[in-house]
Amino acid sequence: MSAVPAAGERPVTTATFRARKLANERIVVVTAYDAPSARLAEEAGVDAVLVGDTLGMVVLGYDSTLPVTLDDMLRHTAAVRRGLSRALLVADMPFLSFQISPEDALRNAGRLMAEAGARAVKLEGGVAIAPTVLKLTEAGVPVMGHVGLTPQSVHQLGGYRVQAKETEAALRLIDDCRALQSAGAFAIVLECIPAELAAIVSAELEIPTIGIGAGAGCDGQVQVWHDLLGLGERLPRHAKRFADAGAIIRGALAGYAAEVRAGTFPDDGACTRMEPGVLDELRRGREGLAHADREG
Ligand code: KIV
């Protein structure tokens, strides 16, 4: 069961996203992959939590997002759902869960919503997937688009690099965004594109843009949990480490190891003591057994 929103706290919806854009208020999105992290994100007041397929890299130890399965996303989305009450929960559609056909995409998006409790799904791609986005939005599935650096196409893009730096590619990206908006997407992630282009797109679209590596001119920002908190091995150029939780965790584990080795953990406060009567009885019982062994 997910938590219930506190009185007066209205859940964030796709309509909230649109209202924030109209009011010129920035939208805050962070990724999370489990219930306790989702709870912390919500307590910190973020607007939306994205169960990104970065799951594959930052949690499951793969070197790309390609091996992430729909089952992985269902399990982690359901976990995040249990930690949230107010923030909008968006689940990524993993590689090959939406590219095969619009019907297949609708079936898989439906599972993320009905079985795992997602309130929206995110798909990578532009003009080419607009018919799929239309199929989903017409069926009542809110869709967040994702253009620019689309990590599921890393091998086609030739690496994780900034996209749409040249005029032709920038114009194509603008077309992609227009197509997603026309197909009913409620927001679009702009990943690793020049800041000027992101600002142009953000000004032109009616729906909000959520940037990552796309400058401050977007309507909101998304960051990956492990980058933000210093838990990743490597910090991408577009990310900022707001805390070094890795150092805190390493320090805590080293303290634990030292106390176990010194025999000072667990101390008396962490132990349960036997009732004196029970202890006496136990000792007498053992003495009786030892005596019977000697006699026998
Ligand atoms: O998978 C993910 O975490 C993402 C964000 C980086 C936008 O798509």
- Enumerate the domain spans of the chain: 14-228
Residue ranges around ligand 1 (CB below 6 Å):
31, 50, 52-54, 92, 146, 189, 191, 212, 222, 224
Q: Whose CA is nearest to atom 5 of ligand 1?
A: 52
Amino acid 289: pLDDT: 84
Mean pLDDT computed over every residue of the chain: 96
Amino acid 291: pLDDT: 82
pTM score of the predicted model: 0.93
Atom of ligand 1 nearest to the CA of 65: 1
Mean pLDDT of 65-70: 98
Enumerate the active-site residues: 191
Amino acid 290: pLDDT: 81
Q: Is residue 6 very low, low, confident or very high in pLDDT (cuts 50, 70, 90)?
A: low
Domain 14-228 is found in CATH 3.10.150.10: no
CA of 156 to the centre of ligand 1 (A): 18
CA of 54 to the centre of ligand 1 (A): 6
Q: Is residue 233 very low, low, confident or very high in pLDDT (cuts 50, 70, 90)?
A: confident
Mean pLDDT of 257-275: 95
| DSSP conformation letters of the chain | -PPPPPTT-PPP-HHHHHHHHHTT--EEEEE--SHHHHHHHHHTT-SEEEE-TTHHHHTS--SSSTT--HHHHHHHHHHHHHH-SSSEEEEEPPTTSSSS-HHHHHHHHHHHHHTT--SEEEEEBSGGGHHHHHHHHHTT--EEEEEES-GGGHHHHTSS-----SHHHHHHHHHHHHHHHHTT-SEEEEES--HHHHHHHHHH-SSPEEEESS-TTSSEEEE-HHHHTT-SSS--TT---S--HHHHHHHHHHHHHHHHHHT-SS-GGG-PPPPHHHHHHHHHHHHHHHHHHHH-
Residue 292 scores a pLDDT above 90: no
CA of 130 to the centre of ligand 1 (A): 19
Q: Is residue 3 very low, low, confident or very high in pLDDT (cuts 50, 70, 90)?
A: low
CA of 21 to the centre of ligand 1 (A): 21
Atom of ligand 1 nearest to the CA of 223: 6
Amino acid 2: pLDDT: 56
